[in-house]
Structure 1
Amino acid sequence: MGTLEDLTDALARDVIAAMDEIGDDRFFEKVSKLLLDMSPTTQEAYMTAIRVRLAERRARKYVEDALHAARAAKAKAPE
């Protein structure tokens, strides 16, 4: 990755961790607005990183929940 992508991806990881810690699932938008005022290019790269990471998180949770449900059903099924 280039410098811009590296920096904004690291920021996205940190912001998502902060969102979890402070319990504000829209915190990333506040950071986005701050970036937009300073650098639209940086804001765009940051939002791409945020969307990718949040989408991956949601998809991973879906897969984990589906596996958990399938394993629980299998464990309850008579042999």
Structure 2
Amino acid sequence: MGITEDIADGLAKDAIEAADRLGDDRVIDEVSRTLSNTSQTTQEAFLTAVRVRLAERRARGVLLSFLKDAPEAPKPD
């Protein structure tokens, strides 16, 4: 990735962690608004990274729920 995407992804990760810790999704919105005042390009990369990370979290939850109910795979002899 380029510097913009790298910075935006790191910021997205930190913002999601802060929102989780505080129980307040407005953290992500405020960071996004702050970015929009200085760099629309960085804001767009940030929002994309947030969406991708949250989508992965939801998808992993679905995957884990399937695996939780799955029988154990047979062990090779």
Query: TM-score range, shorter-chain basis?
Result: 0.7 to 0.9
Task: Pick the structure with more helix per residue.
Answer: 1
1:20 corresponds to which residue?
20
Matched, 1:54 2:51: no
Report the Cα offset of residue 20 of structure 1.
1.0
The one-letter amino acid paired with 1:61 is G
Partner Cα separation in structure 2 for residue 25 and residue 41 of structure 1: 22
Partners of 2:61 and 2:27 in 1: CA distance: 20
TM-score, normalization by structure 2: 0.83
**Alignment RMSD, CA only?**
1.5
Structure 1 range deviating more: 32-41 or 22-31: 22-31
Task: Give the whole-Å Cα distance in 1 for the aligned partners of 2:46 and 2:26.
Answer: 14
Instruction: Quote the Cα distance in structure 2 between the aligned partners of 1:15 and 1:7.
Output: 12
Long gaps (5+) in structure 1: none
Name the count of aligned residue pairs.
72
Secondary structure of 2:56's partner?
Answer: helix
Quote the residue 1:38 is aligned against: 38
| TM-score, normalisation: structure 1 | 0.81
* Percent identity between the two aligned chains: 51
